[in-house]
Amino acid sequence: METKYIFVTGGVVSSLGKGIISSSLACLLNARGFRVTIQKFDPYINIDPGTLNPYEHGECYVTDDGHEADLDLGHYERFTNVHTSRANNVTTGRIYQAVIDKERRGDYLGKTVQIVPHITDEIKRNVKFLGNTGNYDFIITEIGGTVGDIESLPYLEAVRQLRWELGQNSLCVHLTYVPFIAAAQELKTKPTQHSVKALQEVGIQPDILVLRTEKEISPEMRRKIALFCNVAPDAVVQSKDVNSIYKVPLMLHSQHVDETVLRKMGVTPEGEPHMQPWLDFIDKMDNATETVTIGLVGKYVELQDAYKSISEALFHAATYASYKLRLVYIHSEKIDDSNADELLAGMDGVIIAPGFGQRGIEGKFVALKWCREHDIPTFGICLGMQCMVIEFARNVLGLADANSTEMNHSTTHNVIDLMEEQKNISNLGGTMRLGAYDCRLREGSLAAKAYGRLDIRERHRHRYEFNNDYRERFEQAGMECVGENPAAKLVEVVEMPSKRWYVGTQYHPEYSSTVLSPSPIFRSFVDAAIAYHNTK
Ligand code: GLN
């Protein structure tokens, strides 16, 4: 089968969930046995989101091959179980950089370099890159931003040209919003009509319209939209608010979106998608009655997207244990000795979040001391693991000024220190220790039990590491280094065997947790939190 390209655009407002719609469609096609991948084109100038503050676009997701990516790639992986890579997330910055590099090399042979055709050609080359590998039947391309944005124009022009070139092997799904006007008690279709018009003005006719709505959209209203927008009535579907993003694939399937997509692209749909494992997950989610409460201590708690992969990984783990998850965000800048008891006593388990820099760090130490002393299941991730090490050094080993050199250059006890290969780096973009690395776990450790094997591979995003000069002192005092990168001897996992569940990982296991393949270490942590809950 020739590779088929599905473009997903959005209109009216942003944040409608193009990523979830793309992921859900991929999930359904995947469940029909097709090989699918999803890619996102982000119309900003940053080369990648690695240097962006999480307040801008939420968490930075990391792929296996070490690309710092938009958080939508996390949804793609969670919904499809298919790994993404550097090729799955391209920004305007990368497009321009490639074109400018070619210009400097003289590749354009003296021509004037222009947005059309040079930028658009580079976009098209990137759109087709994964398709040309021959590894996929369907490439779903999400165009970031909304139709009508200045920044999106070159992308839409590239899509217009590709649709012309690809013919039936391409399709456009347009996501819009149908607002409910409370005063009139009415749903309004006008913004959708305008949005489709804006798309048509740049030469793109959508094939499928997905209408985001809080209320049921009647068949008449859908027919009206179909009529005004030149779209077949059965290709106008609604995406009504649901209580879990993981129900969106089912909602789309109930409106035959997967079949419509296939038919429009000349493929006869056969049978039904194999959704049983997914349905079992939804069943567990819907039937859970008991609740496990996890506290997440971090500094970006005002914006929950900043910890998206962690909250999803926790949700997967709780669901597999047939529990509901109550996730309580605890601001690390607001926790101190006077309120730790009040903020933490109700938790069944606590996560100390990843992060960078000094802000909120003291609160993490307070929380860790409290959790260690009260022996409640505690999970430190990346900076959270580093904080576990520092807190232990200060309060158990008695090294009062122990610190990471990230926070204090001249500390006498640099229990966390800059990695050797980081010492001469001045460029901030894409230069951390990034992506999947091997880790060997100690036999008999909690981590080894959690994974059920000794050799694992998880993703990373850090510059600092555990200082091996201190390893023995930690081990003797009860914090063991039970995971290590075999090549670099870098400490990947610490744990305190004397505690219920007190584990820190230098890596980020949250990035690889998916609906059908939840993270083993998150499952072990949540199971421990549930066991603790049941002792109370
Ligand atoms: N700031 C720490 C480092 O660079 C931890 C990074 C993180 O939590 N992702 O090593």
CA dist., res. 348 & res. 360, Å (int):
22
**Which is the closest atom of ligand 1 to the Cα of 357?**
1
CA dist., res. 84 & res. 511, Å (int):
11
Q: Which candidate in 27, 60, 172, 382 is catalytic?
A: 382
Residue 342 exposed, middle or buried by CB count within 10 Å (0-12, 13-18, 19+): exposed
Q: Are 411 and 461 in contact (CB under 8 A)?
A: no
Angstrom CA distances, 208 to 170, 284, 335, 475, 484, stand at: 12, 32, 49, 60, 50
| pTM reported for the whole predicted model | 0.95
CA dist., res. 385 & res. 433, Å (int):
16
Beta carbon of 248 within 6 Å of any ligand 1 atom: no
Q: Are 176 and 11 in contact (CB under 8 A)?
A: yes
Largest CA distance in the chain: 75
Contacts of 391 (CB under 8 A, 6+ apart): 364, 365, 368, 369, 372
Determine which residue's CA is closest to atom 3 belonging to ligand 1: 462
Burial call 238-272: b when 16+ CB within 10 Å, e when fewer: bbeeeeebbebbbebbebebbbbbbebbebeeeee
508 classed as catalytic: yes
Of 146, 129, 124, whose CA–CA distance to 37 is shortest? 129
Tokens at 118, concatenated: 């040079």
Please, how many CA atoms are within 13 Å of residue 383, restricted to the half-sphere of its CB? Answer: 20
391 classed as catalytic: no
Tokens at 225, concatenated: 């939209």
What does the pLDDT read at residue 302?
A: 86
| Amino acid identity at 346 | G
Of 222, 219, 214, whose CA–CA distance to 185 is shortest? 214
Beta carbon of 361 within 6 Å of any ligand 1 atom: no
CA dihedral 252, 199, 61, 421 (to 10 degrees): 150
Beta carbon of 44 within 6 Å of any ligand 1 atom: no
What does the pLDDT read at residue 12?
A: 84
List 210's β-bridge partners, or say none: 175, 237
What does the pLDDT read at residue 430?
A: 85
| Amino acid identity at 293 | T
What does the pLDDT read at residue 52?
A: 84
302 classed as catalytic: no
Beta carbon of 122 within 6 Å of any ligand 1 atom: no
Strand stretches in 133-198, DSSP E: 138-143, 170-177, 180-181, 186-187
DSSP notation for 502-514:
EEEESSBGGGG--
Residue 200 exposed, middle or buried by CB count within 10 Å (0-12, 13-18, 19+): middle
What does the pLDDT read at residue 443?
A: 97
Beta carbon of 459 within 6 Å of any ligand 1 atom: no
Give the number of other CB atoms < 10 A from CB of residue 357.
Answer: 10
**Which is the closest atom of ligand 1 to the Cα of 464?**
10
Q: Are 313 and 519 in contact (CB under 8 A)?
A: yes
Strand bridging mode 61-62 / 349-352: unpaired
**Which is the closest atom of ligand 1 to the Cα of 432?**
4
Residue 93 exposed, middle or buried by CB count within 10 Å (0-12, 13-18, 19+): middle
Of 11, 166, 145, 152, whose CA–CA distance to 95 is shortest? 152
Q: Which candidate in 118, 253, 460, 508 is catalytic?
A: 508
10-residue stretch averages of pLDDT, the chain, 536 residues long: 96 89 97 97 91 85 96 96 95 97 95 96 97 96 94 96 96 96 93 96 96 94 93 94 95 97 95 96 97 96 91 98 98 96 97 94 97 98 98 97 95 94 84 95 98 98 96 97 96 98 98 98 98 95
